[in-house]
Amino acid sequence: MGLYLAVIEQCDDVGGVDVGSYEDFNRFRELVCEVSESGAYGSVCPVLQLHEDCDGEWPVAQLSALMAELERVYRDFSSRPPRQCLSDWQREVFRDLGLKSTSLADSIIDVDGEPLIVRLMELCRLALKLGQPISYQ
């Protein structure tokens, strides 16, 4: 089952990120724990890390904190060398699109081949601008 994070306004999907599977998102969060939290899950990025990944939303009240956490993760990942893709489909997308990683930040992609952290920050900015939550679909 795939995970799609969306900003919805007046019943329309106005922006979203197709993360891949819930397992892919959990692998991403495990890397956040390793790199940004020194192994203490949720200690630095509680909004990102401690939200249940199966349903619900990040409410507007949490979006500023989520944005700050994503910016921190991006900085931390940008200073690390690239890694092997997390899953088979990501390897295929890298190969098919001719993508090359320069850091850990661009080693983790969404289903369109875009760096996942960048896409999540863009979605968070959109949600903040519109005053709408980010919904798990």
DSSP 108: S
Cβ-Cβ contacts under 8 Å for 124 (sequence gap 6 or more): 63, 66, 67, 70, 134
SS3 82: coil
- How many Å apart are CA 101 and CA 7, to the nearest integer? 28
- How many Å apart are CA 6 and CA 36, to the nearest integer? 25
Which pTM does this prediction carry?
A: 0.93
Bridge partners of 9, per DSSP, are: 12
- pLDDT by 10s per residue, the chain, length 137: 589 999 998 878 789 999 998 889 999 999 999 999 999 999 999 999 998 766 689 999 999 999 999 999 999 999 999 987 778 888 889 899 999 999 999 999 999 999 999 999 999 999 999 999 999 88
